[in-house]
Structure 1
Amino acid sequence: MLMIKVDNKKQLAREKSIQSIRDSAVHLFSKHGFSATTMEMIAKHAKVSKGLAYNYFKSKNQIFELIIDEHLSKQEAIYKTISPSQSAQEYLREFFQKAIDFAMQEKKTFILITVCLFQPNSVTLSKKMTESIERRFAPFKEAMRDRFRSLDIKDPDAEMLFVKTFMHGILMNQCTQQGDNFPKMKMVELFLQRYAPK
């Protein structure tokens, strides 16, 4: 019984340290940018030793990937609630609405990830992380491809890229200068006319 309590204490201390390192990284990446932030800065801000920080994370890239992974887990859970039995137009409408709502709930993290990925000397995602992203979102991509095929769209992959580009534009406008004044759902409805029954 005593051993279980000691193990639980160690686990709680470990989780607390990891969360502190993660939160410090978010703060410092936001304040100084990814390339200017060092592991030493993160450890100091988290009030842990540099050695302990390196014990949990091999690099700041690994911390950044944890931030992305947590963000994507939440996003994936939300997208899984979209009913697969809808038409292309209905499916995409719900997809856009949920993506916009999620981006606003996670605005700080969304902006942080976007900015860090486009900075000079930015983070390079590992092959494992890139594969994880592809694997996680494969079911949603396939659901959309099926709907595009049902509409006799000749190149479903090009259409996917078109939808992705539109969505990123909407999210960037929503999360940056336009904010609440940006007529996001009006733009979505205009876009969805593309998939209206003929």
Structure 2
Amino acid sequence: MTPKTPEQFEMIRKERKDLLMAAALKLFASKGFATTSIMDIAREAGVSKGLLYNYFESKDELVKEIVLEGIQKITIDIDFDFSIKLDKQRFIQLIDKYFELIEQSKDYWKLYMAVLAQPTVGDLVKGELFMMLEPFFSAVSQYYADKNEKNPLAFAFLLGAILDGVGIDYIFAPEQYPLMEIKEIIIEKLI
């Protein structure tokens, strides 16, 4: 057997970590964060409890990494440069990308939102979550300020809440949800 290179070790480590996070996401969504134990996660992933602790110091650290990775996934999948000022056309592109993302990845987002909606989880990640979303709120707030909205930051948060709600409603009832019609209303009324 040939010795493994550092790159191979890193790849194996990432695969195991992804396996553990996927098992935890599934259990947190189905059983709840509070009632899922480290042993449950290890069993679901087919590894020992000790191995899990080699990757994550605690269940809190594990759920935090799951949530933050989800936000990074959104950022990467949307692939939008918030440092460039939003105009109407770029704003519409951003909305289009968001709707495309939730439509294409419903199963993942269903699990992810079920975990994020749990009160304990929200408390663990709210600071980091806001920091990661700040470029969105800043760009959208500036867009509304340029349109002379009275309270542009509140308007940006309103749009964020609407998009969150649309995402949640759609992933839990995609067959009944008029996703594209709602997207058009958002573009027509809020952009």
In the superposition, the TM-score normalised over structure 1's length comes to: 0.79
How many residues get paired?
A: 189
Looking at structure 2, the residues matched to 9 and 183 of structure 1 have their Cα atoms a distance apart, in angstroms, of: 46
Looking at structure 2, the residues matched to 195 and 118 of structure 1 have their Cα atoms a distance apart, in angstroms, of: 26
Give the direction of change, closer, same or farther, for the CA distance of 1:137–1:80 in structure 2 (3 Å limit).
farther
Give the direction of change, closer, same or farther, for the CA distance of 1:23–1:13 in structure 2 (3 Å limit).
same
Q: Which residue of 1 aligns with 2:188?
A: 193
CA contact 1:103–1:175 (8 Å) conserved in 2: yes
From the CA coordinates, give the structure whose radius of gyration is larger. 1
Q: Which residue of 2 aligns with 1:103?
A: 102
Looking at structure 2, the residues matched to 6 and 190 of structure 1 have their Cα atoms a distance apart, in angstroms, of: 54
Looking at structure 2, the residues matched to 12 and 106 of structure 1 have their Cα atoms a distance apart, in angstroms, of: 24
* Equivalent residue for 2:154, pick from 154, 158, 178: 158
Q: Does 2:112 align with 1:87? A: no
Looking at structure 1, the residues matched to 73 and 158 of structure 2 have their Cα atoms a distance apart, in angstroms, of: 24
Q: 5+ residue gaps in structure 2?
A: none
Give the direction of change, closer, same or farther, for the CA distance of 1:169–1:9 in structure 2 (3 Å limit).
closer
CA drift of 1:6 comes to 5.2
* Equivalent residue for 1:148, pick from 141, 144, 151: 144
Question: Which amino acid letter does the alignment assign opposite residue 114 of structure 1?
Answer: M
Looking at structure 1, the residues matched to 11 and 164 of structure 2 have their Cα atoms a distance apart, in angstroms, of: 38
CA displacement, residues 107-156 of structure 1 (integer Å, 9 cap, x when unaligned): 2232223222334x632543xx4343333322222211111011110101
In the superposition, the TM-score normalised over structure 2's length comes to: 0.81
CA displacement, residues 20-43 of structure 1 (integer Å, 9 cap, x when unaligned): 211221232233222221101111
Q: 5+ residue gaps in structure 1?
A: none
Looking at structure 2, the residues matched to 8 and 18 of structure 1 have their Cα atoms a distance apart, in angstroms, of: 15
Hey, which bits of structure 1, 4+ residues long, moved more than 6 A? Answer: none
Q: Any idea what SS the aligned residue of 1:123 has?
A: helix
Root mean square deviation of aligned Cα: 2.7
Looking at structure 2, the residues matched to 195 and 45 of structure 1 have their Cα atoms a distance apart, in angstroms, of: 44
